[in-house]
Amino acid sequence: MYDFGGSESAAGSESTAPPRLLTALEFPRWIGEYASSRTIDTVTRRNDVGKGRPVLVLPGFSATDFMTGRLRSHLRRRGFHVYGWGQGRNVGLTDELVDGLIERFLEIADRHDEPVSIVGWSFGGLLARRLAHEYPDRVRQIICLGSPWRAEGERTRATAMFEKSRVRYGLSDRARDIVDQLRQPVPVPTTAIWSRSDGITSWSGCSVDETTVPAIAENVEVLSSHVGMVASPVVLAVVVNRLLQDPADWHRFEWRQLAGRTSANQQRKPA
């Protein structure tokens, strides 16, 4: 994220950011992940397990809704009512985007008159944590995909981009307070999906402390690139599985849930 620590933080950036080889492999890995999930969706039937529940998908830093299109398309094919964030390019914690996201979220929550699930990719996951803190009664759950929320994981391969964006677009006076807030335990069910082979963020900064207080928090480790988090067929399957959980009767993730017919039938029951 932003280099709030200044030059001292910058000096340790190489020790916390992923190896450069993984960064270089991000694009070719994404191609394979995107192609495989697109193919799977083409040859499998649509279904309505989502029952029209609202889901807001937040893009990562410097990304737009276009970059989360594969994920949103997959969720629609599973019966969810899916929304992009509608704020253009994610340039960080500017006043315009901070306030615009809140307006977008409240609009969706009011339209459906029920809690909204939020899936946030990378920096979008940090924004999801912030919304959960601000509106715990209106957020059903959050799912964070490769989101470096910990202070010790804020130095990533994208930190220089954050600094350039701060110069170009500015930074809200509330930015530091927002970051401090989102680093606190989240009051709604939280799933952190992360990869040790992530080429942009350090997985250790993305994992959560598994707990049930103030709400359940769980980790799901996957094999995926960072960019591919919104396209990998494995990640998409995990996201759907978690979105089907009932916050009042939560079952922690197990890989056999993705293959077992019994668990799949149970997840089709309305929450």
What are the structure tokens assigned to 24, written together?
A: 């270089």
Instruction: Provide the residue type at 234 as one letter.
Output: V
- Please classify residue 7 by burial: count the beta carbons closer than 10 Å to its beta carbon, then call 0-12 exposed, 13-18 middle and 19+ buried: exposed
Q: What is the pLDDT of residue 127?
A: 98
**CA pair distance 225, 243, nearest whole angstrom:** 22
Backbone angles phi and psi of 68, in degrees to 5? -100, 10
Separation of alpha carbons 59 and 175, rounded Å: 18
Distance CA 147, CA 123 (A): 6
The answer, yes or no, to whether the previous bond of 18 is cis (omega within 30 of 0) is no
Write the single-letter amino acid at 191.
T
Question: Cα–Cα distance between 34 and 71 in angstroms, integer?
Answer: 10
pLDDT of residue 56: 98
Domains of the chain and CATH, by start: 7-265 (3.40.50.1820)
Return the pLDDT at 250: 95
Type of residue found at 11: A
Q: Where are the alpha helices (DSSP H) in 174-225?
A: 175-182, 203-206
- Which are the contacts of 228, defined by CB distance < 8 A and separation ≥ 6? 26, 29, 30, 32, 33, 34, 235
DSSP 150: S
- The neighbouring-strand residues paired with 121 are 145
Task: Say whether pTM exceeds 0.85.
Answer: yes
Give the pLDDT score at 4: 62
Please state, in angstroms and rounded to a whole number, the distance separating the CA atoms of residues 30 and 32: 5
- pLDDT at residue 16, rounded to an integer: 75
The pair of three-digit structure tokens given for residue 149, joined into one six-digit string = 């929320």
Nearest by Cα to 198 from 32, 36, 19, 59: 19
- Decide: helix, strand or coil at residue 252: coil
* CB-based contacts of 19, cutoff 8 Å, min separation 6: 199
* Local confidence pLDDT in tens for the 271 residues of the chain: 776 655 444 444 455 788 999 999 999 999 999 999 999 999 999 999 999 999 999 999 999 999 999 999 999 999 999 999 999 999 999 999 999 999 999 999 999 999 999 999 999 999 999 999 999 999 999 999 999 999 877 678 888 888 899 899 999 999 999 999 999 999 999 999 999 999 999 999 999 999 999 999 999 999 999 999 999 999 999 999 999 999 999 999 999 999 854 344 444 444 4
